[in-house]
Amino acid sequence: MSLVISDILNHLHINDINEAFSTGSNWGSSPDTEVKDIFSPTDGKKIASVKFATADDYNSVVETAAKAFKTWRTIPAPKRGEIVRQIGEQLRANKKELGTLVSYEMGKSLQEGYGEVQEMIDICDFAVGLSRQLYGLTMHSERPEHRMYEQYHPLGIIGVISAFNFPVAVWAWNAMLAWVCGDVCIWKPSEKTPLTAIACQHIAQEVFKANNIEEGVSCLIIGDREVGELMANDSRVPLVSATGSTRMGKAVSAAVGARLGKSLLELGGNNAIIITENADLDMSLIGAVFGAVGTAGQRCTSTRRLIIHENVYEAFKQKLVSAYSQIKIGDPLNENNHMGPLIDQDAVNLYLDSIEKCKAEGGKFVVEGGKLEGDAYRSGCYVKPCIAEVENHYQIVQHETFAPILYLIKYKTIEEAIELQNGVPQGLSSAIMTNNLREAETFLSYAGSDCGIANVNIGTSGAEIGGAFGGEKETGGGRESGSDAWKVYMRRQTNTINYSKTLPLAQGIKFDL
């Protein structure tokens, strides 16, 4: 491990860890505790060892969180917002170190690592303002001298299950909003990227401690699928926010639904950009290439498909081939590189398998893929971004492959393009590149994109925190981050106050004694 990374681990209070940091309670004391080594996909080196939670550890954390909720919910929302503001300031102070660790542990480019931390800072700012406007509504009563209104109360414990590709930002989307709403959080990060989570937990805990807030408002539990299953089946956790594959989301939804709990699901995407004959092809190229190779194709909003008008198809294809020849692949901490590694060997194998399946279905590769070999790629997780000409109905095209494989599809009419765009099981992000107002408005209309996100003249990847983030169909239907996404972390209550001297009933019902 490089000296720079060692210094960063020390700075973030992550020395060769042999225990996970949850709430300060005794962690990993069970003889069943499993210790796992965490390796970087960047260079294949061990970063640290972490103890994974047992069922007893999980229950201890839940009990601590439940106790903390009783006090935290009584603190005025603007005061809770002030604590979130301080967390944002600490994230600003540690942006370089935390962003570098995100890049090293996960494998995304350094600029994307910094960007992820900035996203956390941005959601802190959003949540601070939100803490002063958790508004309800007033309604006119049909009964005289009655007042009706609705208000929102915190739910309780919010379970957050996050994925490796955004190891810290998605937690922040949930936690910062939940905290100003008066909830407490238990975070189960991906077992592939626990160290960035531990760093964030340290930062948050120090702020809570400085404000004399008891432990348990921010809880972290490191574990594998079994811990997630405990959370999904736990009636003490009224809301589980889960980010990951559609398969995982279906399991979480079934478990939470069986106990009539709430789930917020952010699942797979199969995102397309429509390139019309009226598009600015140079601008379209930037959106398409970043969308396809950013984070090595491991974003839920990564561009998987390009639906290109037949009149510009060949010209744009050549632009893509030329651009791909210039992509620099290597150490993500080197800011000259555009693309780092996939997360692990399993991801590499899925990528290679998807290429073979695409060829078997008739896909024609115009930029060949493959695994990169050599000392610079010694972790074994580096691959080539590739491009294939396909038909939208291919089974592999209908499936989300979390890797830099880009599919090209030709179309004739805007109606056909939208049908192709919508013709997959997922419905997260979508985009159209056009300078034609009618094409743009058709794409955004009720007859247009069926995705939760629909963009004009920007790509599918890279959402701002001000808008609600999420998708439809097999993407799960959840909404996180901006707009009124805060409401999912609260329970709605309708109140009616009778300040008259009589008790009239609604609907004119008479009940005299």
> Is 29 within a domain?
no
pTM of the model: 0.95
The helix (run of H) or strand (run of E) holding residue 240 is strand 239-243
Residues 104 and 164 in one domain: yes
> Is 254 within a domain?
yes
Catalytic residues: 266
Over residues 452-462, mean pLDDT: 96
CA distance 144 to 131: 34
pLDDT at 30 over 80: no
Q: Give Cβ neighbours of residue 133 (< 8 Å, ≥ 6 apart).
A: none
Count of domains observed in the chain: 2
pLDDT at 483 over 80: yes
Residues 239 and 310 in one domain: no
Residues 248 and 303 in one domain: no
Residues 325 and 224 in one domain: no
How large is the angle between the packed helices 55-72 and 225-232, nearest 10 degrees? Answer: 50
* Residue predicted with more confidence, 232 or 2: 232
pLDDT at 232 over 70: yes
| CATH number of the domain that residue 387 is part of | 3.40.309.10
Sorting pLDDT into bands at 50, 70 and 90, what band is 29?
Answer: low
> Is 20 within a domain?
no
Minimum mean pLDDT range among 18-27, 341-350, 358-367, 426-435: 18-27
| CATH number of the domain that residue 199 is part of | 3.40.605.10
Sorting pLDDT into bands at 50, 70 and 90, what band is 16?
Answer: very low
Residues 328 and 291 in one domain: yes
CA distance 63 to 87: 24
In 53-183, beta strands by DSSP E: 137-140, 146-154, 157-161
> Is 41 within a domain?
no
> Is 505 within a domain?
no
Sorting pLDDT into bands at 50, 70 and 90, what band is 23?
Answer: very low
Residue 241: domain span:
60-267+476-493
Residues 368 and 484 in one domain: no
CA distance 309 to 408: 11
Residues 304 and 359 in one domain: yes
Sign for the pseudo-dihedral over CA of 140, 142, 145, 146: negative
Quick: pLDDT tens for 144-200.
999 999 999 999 999 999 999 999 999 999 999 999 999 999 999 999 999 999 999
pLDDT at 21 over 70: no
Residues 401 and 438 in one domain: yes
Quick: pLDDT tens for 490-508.
999 999 999 999 999 999 8
pLDDT at 6 over 70: yes
> Is 486 within a domain?
yes
Are 342 and 444 in contact by the 8 Å Cβ rule? The answer is no
Residue-averaged pLDDT of the chain = 95
pLDDT of residue 2: 54
pLDDT of residue 5: 81
> Which letter, b or e, does each residue of 41-74 get, where b requires 16 or more Cβ atoms within 10 Å of its Cβ?
bbbeeebbebbbbbeebbebbbebbbebbeebbe
pLDDT at 328 over 80: yes
Token pair 């003490």 in the structure block, residue: 236
419 SS3 class = helix
Residues 215 and 335 in one domain: no
Quick: pLDDT tens for 288-310.
999 999 999 999 999 999 999 99
Sorting pLDDT into bands at 50, 70 and 90, what band is 512?
Answer: confident
Quick: pLDDT tens for 388-400.
999 999 999 999 9
Residues 481 and 334 in one domain: no
Residues 263 and 286 in one domain: no
> Is 512 within a domain?
no
Quick: pLDDT tens for 109-131.
999 999 999 999 999 999 999 99
Residues 380 and 443 in one domain: yes
186, with CB counted inside 10 A (0-12, 13-18, 19+), is: buried
pLDDT of residue 22: 43
301, with CB counted inside 10 A (0-12, 13-18, 19+), is: buried
> Is 155 within a domain?
yes
Share of the chain above pLDDT 90, in %: 91
